[in-house]
Amino acid sequence: MPHAEAENFAGGPFEAGELVETAFAKINLALHVRGKRADGYHALESLFVFTELGDRLTGRIRADGQVSLEIDGPFGSLLDAGPDNLVIRTACALQVHLEENLGADLKLTKILPVASGIGGGSADAAATLRLLTRLWNAPMPPDVLERIALSLGSDVPACIGSIPQMVRGRGEILQPQAIENLSTMPILLVNPGVALSTAQVFGRWDQRDRGPLEAMGLEQLVSEGRNDLQQPAIAMEPVIADVLAALGACAGLRLARMSGSGATCFALFDTDRRMAEAATALRAAQSGWWIAETRIRAA
């Protein structure tokens, strides 16, 4: 799998007449599943942070009301650019809400692995909302944008702001939450080259409520936090346990855990040097793993 380094494509002009947004990777530092709701969704408590690394979305306005999508990048060949693509669905949802015949030519550079637990599709949808509301000069209140986002996926509302936040419910309850010393902390992302179905991982959850998530600081996240989907994911793809064991043996490690429904795992390090040493060692030992060095994105 291709490696990746941190790139920060900030929103703003990219070329004449074109706008750009970064779909920042989402990391669940902890994910507690509290139960299953009557509507079929699971009740979650999770601390979301985002990295400086992400997919890149660019857009140019077109006058005929059509929306086109081109996809490239290391993982672009794994996605279809047709009407079922979440970027296209997001653009269509925004067109319906605005009740205007607005169009755009979009290009997604897919840097993040697909179906990997770091919110790639959700982040792409959120980036699409941010980009098109600017491109179409259609600002809207945050609560309205979040309602549209929630209709597209449970993680999409949190991905709009891409800041550290506690996320509850199915993803509709958002509370910004800063963790001291976490901003810009080095974080290593590792995916062993397997894709997991979120629905199937949730289907293997043992339905035990192991208690609420308290996240007043990093030490508490390390000692009391957990990912309740980690063991179900390992049962489906045992290689995830190998990734966590390899990360656990790295010097300077603060926390290693799986993100979301997997299979991407993350490791927080005290210093850039320790992260770089870990990445070098892992790349030498596992040439087929996707390994990305980046940082926690500042709020």
Per the model's pLDDT, the better-predicted residue between 4 and 50 turns out to be 50
Q: Is-contact 132 171, C-beta < 8 A? A: no
Please give the structure tokens belonging to residue 163.
């800041």
- Is there a contact between 108 and 39 (Cβ–Cβ < 8 Å)? no
Domain boundaries, the chain: 4-176, 186-295
Rounded to the nearest integer, the mean pLDDT of the chain is: 94
- Helix 86-98 to helix 120-135 angle (10° resolution) is 40
The phi, psi pair for 57, rounded to 5°, reads -120, 130
Segment 233-283, tens digit of pLDDT? 999 999 999 999 999 999 999 999 999 999 999 999 999 999 999 999 999
Distance CA(142)–CA(126), nearest Å, equals: 12
Written out in words, the top-level CATH class of the domain with range 186-295 is alpha beta
Q: What is the mean pLDDT of residues 25-47?
A: 96
How far is CA 154 from each of CA 57, 142, 196, 292, rounded to the nearest angstrom? 21, 16, 17, 25
Q: Which of 55, 124, 155, 228 is catalytic?
A: 155
Own/partner pairs for 197-202, CB < 8 Å, 24+ apart? 197/115, 197/261, 198/115, 198/260, 198/261, 200/236, 201/229, 201/232, 201/233, 201/236, 201/261, 201/262, 202/33, 202/42, 202/229, 202/232, 202/261
Give the pLDDT confidence of 184-220 residue by residue, as tens digits: 999 999 999 999 999 999 999 999 999 999 989 999 9
Q: What is the mean pLDDT of residues 272-297?
A: 98
Band of residue 299 on the pLDDT scale cut at 50, 70, 90: confident
Quick: pLDDT tens for 5-31. 443 334 444 455 899 999 999 999 999
The whole-number pLDDT of residue 15 equals 58
pLDDT of residue 2: 60
- Residue 199's pLDDT is 93
Verdict on whether the full-model pTM lies above 0.75: yes
Strand partners, 61: 104
- Residue 105 pLDDT exceeds 50: yes
Please compute the mean of the pLDDT values over residues 69-89 and round it to a whole number.
Answer: 97
What pLDDT was estimated at residue 124?
Answer: 98
Measured CA distances, 296 to 31, 139, 183 (Å): 17, 27, 6
Tell which residue, 8, 28, 29, has the closest CA to residue 20: 8
Q: Is 81 helix (H, G, I), strand (E, B) or coil?
A: coil
Query: What residue type is 62 in one-letter code?
Result: R
pLDDT the model gives residue 17: 80
Question: Which pLDDT value is given to residue 21?
Answer: 98
% pLDDT > 70, the chain: 95
Query: Does 186-295 match 4-176 at the fold level?
Result: no
**Cα 227 vs. chain centroid, distance in angstroms?**
15
For residue 96, what pLDDT is reported?
Answer: 96
In this prediction, residue 146 carries a pLDDT of: 96
Residue 176 buriedness (CB in 10 A; 0-12 / 13-18 / 19+): exposed
Check pLDDT > 80 for residue 122.
yes
Q: Taking 70 as the threshold, does the pLDDT of residue 141 lie above it? A: yes
Q: Spot the catalytic one: 26, 55, 124, 228.
A: 26
CATH number of this structure's domain 4-176: 3.30.230.10
155 is catalytic: yes
pLDDT of 5 reads 46
